[in-house]
Amino acid sequence: MQSNVPLTPFIIITVIAIAVISAGCTAPVPEPQVSPSMTPLPSQACDCPQLVFSDPEFAFELQRTLAAAYSGEADIGECLATASRIREGDFESWYTEWKKTADHFRHAGDASLAAGHNVSAREAYYRAATYYRTAEFFLHGNPSDPRIVDTWLDSRNAFRDALALDTVPYEIVAIPYGNTTLPGYFYKVDNSGIPRRLLIVQTGFDGCQEELHPYAMEGIRRGYNVLTFEGPGQGEVIRVQHIPFRADWENVIIPVVDYAAGRPDVRRDSITLWGISLGGYLAPRGAAYEPRIRALVADAGTYDIGQNLLEGMKRSGGPAANMTERELQEWLKSDPASFNSAIREMMAADTGTRWMNEQ
């Protein structure tokens, strides 16, 4: 049931983080190849460097994986070497090559652990977790593909093996939610049980909470306990429980805060919610109905998702090229069959549109 708690004042901090990563290779990178089924658009708007790939979506996801190098959960050389083996725009090639790299570091971690080299094992497991997660990213065109859950589990298991070798105290938690639970990690500054400020971090449209580990560690270093979780439509909740997204995100946030506020190591007067990517849209909705949230970070990155879709349709040419957003809405209402046909044409020509609709 939707809460009727009125909107209360809180701090809204909008963070726009743009990470530009540049690197050189001593060996030549093979010329990108285009899958026969893909016809690149003549002009692509891309707000990220075209590193290795000319395909904007592949370039962006490579950049996203490279960003994990900051926390030691990826390596720039390993990422570039993997990317150089991938066929441009080919989802299967993406999966195969990242899976090979992930398997390599999974085995390296196991070997290090068996030899008593716990630090090396931990580092290898964190990188394996990142690379498995990257491998799985473009598999969702067929929701019944068993590799989706298998590879996600490989990523989560590697991550948890790394956590077990790390020095930061943590708990794997289950947050009551309706007739089920939401998965979470509760990271602690220490095991003293002293009530501390709490940072709740949530992911967005396509992320898993294990990817939030570096964010959590930034909170720990600043004296916050940190709770990450996955809600409907995210991570384990969609892959295993098959619970889709919901618009009334307050009915997700309120149970999460209920759980957090019930812990003796949380200061109930100092709870911050940080929503990343689509979470930057969902978190403000949740916070509007939850007065116990005293600060909000709306880290969406994209200001207007609808405008992005409109620009993609215009780039694709055809009947949408010169339409306004209102005209597109009218087209969808009056002739959904032809509208959907146009979307399918876009999916064939634009990797990003294909991924967004398949996800």
Residues recognised as catalytic: 277
Classified as helix, coil or strand, 268 is strand
Count Cβ atoms within 10 A of the Cβ of residue 136 and give its class: 0-12 exposed, 13-18 middle, 19 or more buried: buried
Instruction: Say if CB 302 and CB 291 are below 8 A apart.
Output: no
The percent of the chain in helix, strand and coil, each rounded to the nearest 5, is 50, 15, 40
Give the CA count within 13 Å in the CB-facing half-sphere of 19. Answer: 13
The owner of tokens 């105290």 is: 169
74 Cα distance to chain centroid: 15
Instruction: Say if CB 353 and CB 346 are below 8 A apart.
Output: yes
The sign of the CA dihedral 98, 275, 292, 268 is positive
Contacts of 213 by beta carbon, 8 Å cutoff, 6+ apart = 71, 73, 126, 159, 185, 228
Contacts of 15 by beta carbon, 8 Å cutoff, 6+ apart = 297, 298, 299
Instruction: Say if CB 227 and CB 200 are below 8 A apart.
Output: yes
Query: In degrees, to the nearest 5, what angle opens at C-alpha 214 toward C-alphas 139 and 122?
Result: 85
Q: What's the Cα-to-Cα distance from 326 to each of 303, 310, 322, rounded to whole Å? A: 18, 10, 12
- The pair of structure tokens assigned to 319 is 């009947």
